[in-house]
């Protein structure tokens, strides 16, 4: 079975600072990797995904993530945090047939003014 | 924008009662997933449908849980004889037709509280 580890259940940054949310996965097959964002009382929204091709993927709202196979990582970054980025972020991995998605436990991002 | 909808948004019930949740996926999405999310955790896969066929069920889905998707459109998730441990957010997601299963669209969830 696949698993996802998100280091840091809470991350706090100042507005304008770099955002780095960590995600490591375990997979016996080439994974498909995703980042989702969840705002309070809302469903999850896809930020970005890696399936094949370029390992640096860009998503919405200025976020990007890099797939590093040797490190089994898919960390999420944003150069400059905005107050509106405050939310919970989930990393997820799927097998090739997309029958099941495995989610990490989430990281709550707090952005300080 | 007719996204994934779930009903009800909140449900409070007493232990031992049965509850049923409904999910309406985005029109023509042929895959539908159910997840459970407890406080401080990410969504946990419960089951998924391709059209009306239920193709996989998690071991988390005990005999008290049943899901259906008649006619391959909306889906229902029923929990019988609810227990306090069933208290969670139940999420539904759907994905577009074949070839693009990799993007899931989530509904807002149904929050269940079992007293």
Ordered per-residue pLDDT tens for chain A, 113 residues:
678 999 999 999 999 999 999 999 987 666 789 999 999 878 899 999 998 888 899 999 999 999 998 899 999 999 999 999 999 999 999 876 777 888 999 999 999 99
d(Cα A13, Cα A26) in Å, to the nearest integer? 28
Question: Pick from A9, A36, A99: which is nearest to B56 by CB?
Answer: A99
Name the residue among A29, A32, A1, A16 with its Cα closest to residue A78. A16
Contacts of A41 in chain B (CB under 8 A): 108
Name the residue among B22, B35, B13 with its Cα closest to residue B80. B13
- Residue written as token pair 């995904």: A49
- The neighbouring-strand residues paired with B66 are B78
| C-beta atoms of A32 and B42 within 8 A | no
d(Cα B60, Cα B66) in Å, to the nearest integer? 12
Q: What angle do CA A68, A71, A74 make, to 5 degrees?
A: 45
Write out the residues of chain B at the interface with chain A, using a CB-CB cutoff of 8 A.
Answer: 3-4, 31, 33, 35, 40-45, 48, 55-56, 91, 93, 95, 101-109
Contacts of A105 in chain B (CB under 8 A): 40-42
């Amino acid at each position: 079975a696949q698993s996802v580890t998100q280091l840091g259940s809470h991350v706090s940054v100042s507005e304008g600072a770099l955002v780095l949310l960590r995600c490591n996965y375990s997979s016996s097959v080439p994974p498909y990797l995703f980042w989702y964002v969840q705002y309070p009382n809302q469903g999850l929204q896809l930020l970005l995904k890696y399936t094949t091709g370029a390992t640096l993927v860009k998503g919405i709202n200025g976020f990007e993530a890099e797939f590093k196979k040797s490190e089994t990582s898919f960390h999420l970054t944003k150069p400059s945090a905005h107050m509106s980025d405050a939310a919970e972020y989930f990393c997820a991995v799927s097998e090739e047939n997309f029958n099941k998605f495995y989610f990490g436990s989430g990281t709550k991002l707090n952005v300080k003014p | 924008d007719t996204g994934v909808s779930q009903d009800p948004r909140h449900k409070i019930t007493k232990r031992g009662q049965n509850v049923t949740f409904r999910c309406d996926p985005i029109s023509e999405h042929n895959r539908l997933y159910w997840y459970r999310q407890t406080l401080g955790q990410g969504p946990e896969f419960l089951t998924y449908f391709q059209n009306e066929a239920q193709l996989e069920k998690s071991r988390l889905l005990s005999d008290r849980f049943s899901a259906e998707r008649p006619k391959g459109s909306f889906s229902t998730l029923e929990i019988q004889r609810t227990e306090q441990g069933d208290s969670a957010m139940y999420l539904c997601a759907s994905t577009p037709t074949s070839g693009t299963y990799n993007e899931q669209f989530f509904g807002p969830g149904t929050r269940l509280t079992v007293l």
